[in-house]
Amino acid sequence: MDTFLLDAGNVFIFISGFLMLKTAYKDRNVLRGYNLNGTLLITMGLSLMLGYFVQQGFWLSFFLTLPNYSYWVIVAASILSKRGTGSV
């Protein structure tokens, strides 16, 4: 099975994931304003994609998606921690 387009798309996901992590590291206020439901849905969708990549043996796609997945997990954790303290 040819996965060239999948891998090419995931290179862009990889780059964007690092850019988003860099921005969030420099300015934590960037994590404000995200919708909890939308964030949980995208995190769940990325989790299912990662599971599919492992199941199919698409290891390059799996590793290229990890930075983007990490960013959304951080966003979800930030939203949930702010809700726990009552500051949202």
Tell me the whole-structure pTM to 2 decimals: 0.83
Note whether residue 2 is domain-resident. no
Rounded CA-CA distance 54/63 in Å is 10
Note whether residue 6 is domain-resident. no
| pLDDT at site 28 | 80
Note whether residue 15 is domain-resident. no
- Report yes or no: 46 and 52 within 8 Å, Cβ to Cβ: no
Please tell me the total count of domains within the chain: 1
Note whether residue 21 is domain-resident. no
Mean pLDDT by 10 residues, the chain (88 residues): 85 92 85 88 95 95 94 91 70
Note whether residue 14 is domain-resident. no
Note whether residue 38 is domain-resident. yes
Note whether residue 65 is domain-resident. yes
| Element housing 14 (H / E) | helix 4-26
Instruction: Report which of 2, 6, 12, 5 is spatially closest to residue 61, judged by C-alpha positions.
Output: 6
CA 33 remoteness from chain centre: 16
- Provide the CB-side half-sphere exposure for 28 (13 A, CA): 5
Domain that holds residue 47: 30-80
